[in-house]
């Protein structure tokens, strides 16, 4: 049990300037954005802000009709909010742990639900895994980011990055998969022995198979993305 005087609590919990740039971790689960311009955020992630800022929910055609149609097909519910102005913006996502990625002319796929914030300098697009669509009730929606800039993602607890090597594929639970390098294109792998062992409702019988050279990031808690019963606990 933690017991503090009021002043001790305020001092212990006070915001701290760490001088890390546009994105910095105020804590493991709170992202501070030192805004001086524009940033894209996950809608509903703002918990506080200091300064003059304008919040605009992403328009249905703001990023083109192509992305709108992809979202409609995928059934993706994650929405973005554009924040403009100057000051300090604080973001959080259901108390999930936050990781800041500093991209240098690189590319990565991230599950749409795990994207917290990103700089407008990054090019992005909505991707639907076609190979998955026929099996997992609409497929797995994700976002492809490319370029130079900062990207913040959120995970349940500490993420685990696994290296994928030629001839050594990595298999993951779709509900625990967070991100992967743009050089990889996952395919569906069905393990009927696992389905028999674990029961018909278990998601572990359907896995994502990553082949080639790159990395894949997973989290130690499964999220329910699909409506066909293939969800984790």
Residue ranges per structural domain of the chain: 20-218
* Nearest residue to 143 via CA among 163, 123, 158: 123
The answer to whether residue 24 scores a pLDDT higher than 70 is yes
The answer to whether residue 72 scores a pLDDT higher than 60 is no
* Nearest residue to 205 via CA among 187, 191, 218: 191
**Reported pTM:** 0.81
CA dihedral 98, 75, 56, 42 (to 10 degrees): 0
Region 152-180 average pLDDT: 94
**How far from 158 is each of 99, 124, 131, 154, 178, CA to CA, in Å?**
9, 25, 29, 10, 11
Please answer whether residues 161 and 181 qualify as being in contact, where contact means their C-beta atoms are separated by less than 8 angstroms: no
SS3 of residue 37 by DSSP: strand
> In this predicted structure, what is the pLDDT of residue 202?
46
In percent, how much of the chain has pLDDT > 70?
Answer: 71
Architecture of domain 20-218: 4-Layer Sandwich (3.60)
The model's confidence at residue 11, banded by pLDDT at 50, 70 and 90, is confident
Cα 91 from Cα 43, distance rounded (Å):
10
Cα 133 from Cα 211, distance rounded (Å):
19
């Amino acid at each position: 049990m933690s017991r503090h005087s009021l002043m001790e609590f305020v001092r212990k919990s006070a915001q701290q300037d760490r001088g890390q740039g546009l994105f910095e971790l105020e804590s493991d689960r709170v992202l501070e954005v030192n805004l001086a311009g524009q940033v894209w955020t996950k809608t509903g992630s703002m918990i506080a802000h200091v300064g003059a800022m304008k919040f605009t929910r992403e328009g249905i055609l703001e990023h083109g009709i192509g992305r709108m149609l992809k979202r409609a097909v995928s059934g993706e519910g994650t929405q973005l909010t554009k924040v403009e102005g100057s000051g300090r913006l604080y973001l959080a996502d259901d108390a999930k742990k936050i990781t800041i990625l500093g991209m240098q002319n690189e590319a990565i796929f991230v599950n749409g639900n795990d994207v917290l914030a990103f700089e407008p300098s990054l090019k992005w697009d909505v991707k639907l895994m076609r190979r998955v669509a026929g099996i997992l009730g609409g497929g797995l929606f994700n976002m492809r980011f490319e370029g130079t800039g900062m990207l913040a993602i959120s995970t349940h607890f500490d993420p685990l990055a696994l290296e994928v090597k030629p001839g050594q594929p990595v298999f993951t639970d779709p509900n625990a998969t967070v991100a992967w390098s743009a050089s990889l294109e996952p395919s569906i792998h069905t393990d009927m022995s696992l389905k028999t062992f674990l029961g018909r409702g278990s998601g572990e019988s359907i896995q994502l198979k990553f082949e080639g050279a790159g990395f894949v990031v997973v989290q130690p808690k499964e999220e329910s993305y699909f409506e066909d019963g293939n969800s984790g606990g």
